[in-house]
Amino acid sequence: MVKLSVIIPIYNGEKYLRECLDSVCNQTLDDIEIICINDGSTDSSPEILNEYSQADERIIIINQENRGPAASRNNGLDIAKGEYIAFLDADDMYIDHEGLDVMYESAVRNGCEVVSANLKFITSKRRIIHNPHYDKGTFHYFDEDCEITPDEYGIPFYFYKNIYKRELIRDIRFPELSRGEDPIFLSEVLGRVKSVHGVGVDFYGYMVPSTFDKLDSYAKKHDYVSHYRKCFDLLKASQLTMTLEKYVNNLMMYLKGNASGELYEIVSEVFHDDMGYFKGYESQFDEFRITSLLMNVLDTNTNERFLEVKNELSDDVFNEELEILKRSNDLSEYKVKYFKYRLDSGKKRYGELVKENEELKNDLEKEKRFNEEVLNSRSWKLMNRIRKMRG
């Protein structure tokens, strides 16, 4: 048995693959296997993998048809022989060459099932920068070796900053979703352990995408919302209440910024049997529900849907847009009144911005005149004004 298996899913990763592989091959922990899953790459990734495998016998290459990172990691888990398991993405890298060594030795010395380190961001220019999630308390930062409870870990993000005892995860697999498979995996892991051992090492370098793949299809949105439900169920069953609360808040932030009839339909379907997860967020959820239904009236553009939504929202109190719906007799009347309201609101806001701009221009002119006075005068009275302004 090798000490540790590193599983790397690769799909068209030629741009950063060498840097990624170098960061693993140059780790001071020598007794490892590096399982590279080529997920149907069509670029030069296979050639790079073959080149590295010829130079380092620890590299194992598995070729598969393109199925996504979840299937690739599962394939790696099925063949991994390490006492512990680590994960790495092809555009990321280990930024501390002793990282795996420190984490493995700490795991063995303390009898740990999960050892966690710190994660930093990498820009598109491959510059290592601070991870702002630590400032927000998204998850725990380890400035020294310590033990934390699973509930202190934080939101179940960035599973690859940890190593896992293989026996712990022998029957855990990543669900093959287009979104959110990672938090489900980590939620299940956190529910199985009594503690997480942290080491004060900035270990993992995560490549920050320059652009994010949008949730622009029904299937992607459905997978994304479904992953929340699965995580909530796992966290609830494990009584990880702090983590659950943080992750529910995370979902509410997403819903608030992406209200739509389609998304409301998905949420209603996924959470239909347990809306209790939104307890404490009733007002925010109502806002999302009403906004989504109002948008759905215009998207659907049928009088039948107009009447259905009007009836459903008859007892709700929200804002002027809802009142317009209630005061309208049919879709045509609603659309005329709604777009007039939007136009009037736009004109009003434009007027406010013009006024604000004029006030700022006036303030700027005053500052310019004052600065000119200061530059062109030696009057003790003027200097006295400046001293008083400075306190």
Classify residue 212: in a domain, yes or no: no
| pLDDT for position 391 | 53
Classify residue 97: in a domain, yes or no: yes
Q: Which domain holds residue 379?
A: 339-389
- If asked whether residues 201 and 226 sit together in one domain, one would say no
Q: pLDDT confidence of 371, banded at 50, 70, 90?
A: confident
| pLDDT for position 182 | 96
Question: Considering the chain, what percentage of its residues have pLDDT values greater than 70?
Answer: 94
Question: Considering the chain, what percentage of its residues have pLDDT values greater than 90?
Answer: 80
| pLDDT for position 381 | 56
- If asked whether residues 147 and 24 sit together in one domain, one would say yes
Find the CATH number of the domain harbouring 44.
Answer: 3.90.550.10
| pLDDT for position 364 | 84
- If asked whether residues 125 and 255 sit together in one domain, one would say no
- If asked whether residues 114 and 174 sit together in one domain, one would say yes
The larger pLDDT score, comparing residue 3 to residue 211, is at: 3
| pLDDT for position 285 | 94
| pLDDT for position 115 | 98
> Of 303, 327, 351, which residue is a domain's last?
327
pLDDT tens-digit map of 318-339: 788 899 999 999 999 999 998 8
Residue whose C-alpha is closest to residue 177's, from 66, 38, 70: 70
**pLDDT(380) > 70:** no
Residue in this structure with the two tokens 């394939």, named with its chain if needed: 75
Maximum mean pLDDT: which of 27-36, 123-132, 136-145, 326-335: 27-36
Residue type, 244: L
- If asked whether residues 132 and 59 sit together in one domain, one would say yes
Classify residue 147: in a domain, yes or no: yes
Classify residue 317: in a domain, yes or no: yes
**pLDDT(210) > 70:** no
- If asked whether residues 296 and 187 sit together in one domain, one would say no
pLDDT tens-digit map of 348-366: 888 888 888 888 888 888 8
- If asked whether residues 245 and 106 sit together in one domain, one would say no
Least confident of 135-144, 238-247, 346-355: 346-355
Q: pLDDT confidence of 213, banded at 50, 70, 90?
A: low
- If asked whether residues 299 and 353 sit together in one domain, one would say no
**pLDDT(390) > 60:** no
Q: pLDDT confidence of 137, banded at 50, 70, 90?
A: confident
Residue whose C-alpha is closest to residue 129's, from 119, 143, 138: 119
Classify residue 354: in a domain, yes or no: yes
Classify residue 334: in a domain, yes or no: no
Least confident of 171-185, 315-329, 362-376: 362-376
Classify residue 333: in a domain, yes or no: no
Is residue 40 within 8 A of residue 11, CB to CB? The reply is yes
- If asked whether residues 89 and 36 sit together in one domain, one would say yes
- If asked whether residues 222 and 200 sit together in one domain, one would say no
State the total domains in the chain.
3
> Of 172, 207, 242, which residue is a domain's last?
207
Q: How far apart are the first and last CA of the chain?
A: 72
The larger pLDDT score, comparing residue 28 to residue 353, is at: 28
**pLDDT(378) > 60:** no
- Read off the pTM: 0.85
SS (H, E, C) the chain: CCCEEEEEEECCCHHHHHHHHHHHHCCCCCCEEEEEEEECCCCCHHHHHHHHHHHCCCEEEEEECCCCHHHHHHHHHHHCCCCEEEECCCCCEECCCCHHHHHHHHHHHHCCCEEEEEEEEECCCCCEECCCHHHHCCECCCCCCEEECHHHCECCCCHHHEEEECCCCCCCCCCCCCCCHHHHHHHHHHCCCCCEEEEEEEEEEEECCCCCCCCCCHHHHHHHHHHHHHHHHHHHHCCCHHHHHHHHHHHHHHHHHCCCHHHHHHHHHHCCCCHHHHCCCHHHHHHHHHHHHHHHHHHHCCHHHHHHHHHHCCCCCCCHHHHHHHHCCCHHHHHHHHHHHHHHHHHHHHHHHHHHHHHHHHHHHHHHHHHHHHHHCCCHHHHHHHHHHCC
- If asked whether residues 153 and 59 sit together in one domain, one would say yes
| pLDDT for position 342 | 84
Classify residue 213: in a domain, yes or no: no
- If asked whether residues 292 and 312 sit together in one domain, one would say yes
> Of 179, 207, 235, which residue is a domain's last?
207
